């Protein structure tokens, strides 16, 4: 008699063999897949000036996941494969908690570094959970620029099954120093084809709220705007200096989180500053009066439930909250609006 567990194992092994055979064949016929809140995916991509390069990985599941079961690979300049010696990086033995993010940044921190060794800006260094690949010749997975494909894979023994892909394997969308990269202009979605602004060069990409899993159709044209929003990774500060534009790194809002709602995307209320530094006061403004607010941790446990005397703008008591991500829920005006915030 075949047990349910045995049948499930057989099905999972068959799926893995299919994915692995497709990927080993040069990804010529990879299937598009949405993992629907049950697998890690890349939630933010940073390709900035110099060595300002980072990836944010998101765990959309209700359980912690060991990152050591995954690897990143870089397919450079239109290559159909990643060099297993120095373009594949196995993630460290660390846990990524439920509904949380993990940020990996290229390891360039020498303040005196020049050329290829110029340091990552301090704003981006502060966002890192892990630094990787300090020596190019030893491993250059994190040295991607706008025409390199990045693949996040799950490991099954010595085999790797892709769970998320940025770019189109085997295609060079143009040389980044000239403006190359992928974008959202059909039919090819490449700078070399349409000459439009490349989203994957000198930009940050943020996964859209409604994306619930990775994309593995690495043989199809890469329409960057289909699943990503694009922002420049640096902005001009009040004194005219360039400053890092990476406030969204380190937290991600997604439909997978049980308390998330698309109402936040409709700008029905503003929660700021976010992230919140020690000693700062958190404030909420809405176009209607709020009756009460609630604060939850990422496990869904309610930490606070506070009555508000019908105010449209008020301060929120966050004293005692440890560093980490939380969910704020405002109730009033016949609706509830949910926002995620981070205490640094």
Q: Determine the Cα–Cα distance for residues 161 and 22; give it in Å rounded to an integer.
A: 9
Q: Are 108 and 118 in contact (CB under 8 A)?
A: yes
Q: Which residues fall within 8 angstroms of residue 47, CB to CB, at 6 or more apart? A: 53, 144, 145, 146, 200, 201, 202, 203, 204, 233
The per-residue pLDDT for 197 is 92
Cβ atoms < 10 Å from Cβ of 114? 8
Q: What is the DSSP string of 102-117?
A: EEEEE----TT--GGG
Q: What is the pTM of this model?
A: 0.73
The per-residue pLDDT for 14 is 40
Q: Determine the Cα–Cα distance for residues 224 and 196; give it in Å rounded to an integer.
A: 12
Q: Determine the Cα–Cα distance for residues 338 and 268; give it in Å rounded to an integer.
A: 9
Q: Determine the Cα–Cα distance for residues 185 and 187; give it in Å rounded to an integer.
A: 6
Q: Where are the domains of the chain?
A: 4-244, 262-343
26 secondary structure, DSSP code: T
Q: Determine the Cα–Cα distance for residues 125 and 131; give it in Å rounded to an integer.
A: 9
pLDDT means per 10 residues in the chain (344 residues)?
40 40 36 74 95 97 96 97 97 94 97 94 94 98 97 95 97 95 96 95 91 92 93 78 82 80 52 82 84 77 82 85 82 72 81
Q: Are 111 and 73 in contact (CB under 8 A)?
A: no
137 secondary structure, DSSP code: T
Exposed, middle or buried by CB within 10 Å (0-12, 13-18, 19+), for 103? buried
Cβ atoms < 10 Å from Cβ of 79? 16
The per-residue pLDDT for 299 is 59
85's tokens: 């010696």
Q: Determine the Cα–Cα distance for residues 87 and 67; give it in Å rounded to an integer.
A: 18
The upper half-sphere exposure of residue 182, i.e. CA atoms within 13 Å in the direction of its Cβ, equals 30
Q: Determine the Cα–Cα distance for residues 245 and 214; give it in Å rounded to an integer.
A: 24
The per-residue pLDDT for 8 is 36
Q: Which residues pair with 8 in a beta bridge?
A: none
What's the CATH architecture for 262-343?
Sandwich (2.60)
Q: Determine the Cα–Cα distance for residues 37 and 21; give it in Å rounded to an integer.
A: 24
The upper half-sphere exposure of residue 159, i.e. CA atoms within 13 Å in the direction of its Cβ, equals 13
């Amino acid at each position: 008699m075949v047990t349910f567990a045995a049948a499930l194992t057989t099905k999972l092994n068959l799926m893995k063999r299919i994915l692995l055979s497709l990927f080993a064949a040069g990804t010529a016929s990879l299937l598009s897949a949405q993992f629907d809140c049950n697998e890690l995916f890349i939630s933010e991509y940073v390709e900035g000036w110099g060595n300002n390069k980072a990836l944010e990985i998101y765990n959309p599941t209700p359980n912690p996941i060991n990152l050591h079961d995954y690897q990143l690979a870089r397919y450079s300049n239109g290559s159909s494969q990643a060099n297993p010696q120095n373009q594949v990086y196995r993630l460290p033995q660390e846990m990524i908690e439920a509904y949380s993010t993990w940020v990996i940044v290229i390891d360039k921190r020498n303040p005196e570094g020049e050329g290829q060794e110029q340091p990552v800006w301090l704003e981006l260094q502060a966002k890192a959970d892990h630094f990787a690949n300090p020596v190019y010749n030893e491993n250059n997975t994190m040295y991607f620029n706008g025409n390199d494909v990045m693949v996040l894979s799950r490991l099954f023994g010595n085999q790797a099954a892709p769970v998320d892909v940025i770019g189109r394997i085997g295609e060079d969308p143009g040389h980044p120093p000239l403006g190359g990269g992928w974008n959202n202009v059909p039919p090819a979605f490449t700078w070399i084809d349409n000459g439009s602004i490349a989203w994957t060069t000198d930009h940050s990409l943020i996964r859209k709220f409604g994306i619930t899993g990775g994309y593995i159709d690495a043989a199809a044209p890469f329409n960057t705007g289909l699943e990503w929003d694009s922002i420049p990774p640096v902005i001009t500060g009040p004194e005219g200096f360039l400053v890092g534009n990476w406030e969204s790194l380190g937290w991600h809002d997604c439909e997978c989180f049980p308390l998330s709602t698309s109402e936040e995307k409709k700008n029905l209320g503003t929660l700021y500053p976010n992230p919140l530094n020690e000693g700062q006061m958190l404030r909420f403004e809405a176009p209607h009066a709020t009756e009460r607010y609630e604060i939850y941790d990422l496990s869904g446990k309610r930490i606070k439930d506070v009555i508000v005397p019908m105010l449209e703008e008020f301060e929120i008591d966050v004293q005692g909250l440890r560093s980490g991500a939380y969910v704020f829920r405002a109730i009033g005006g016949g609706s509830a609006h949910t926002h995620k915030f981070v205490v640094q």
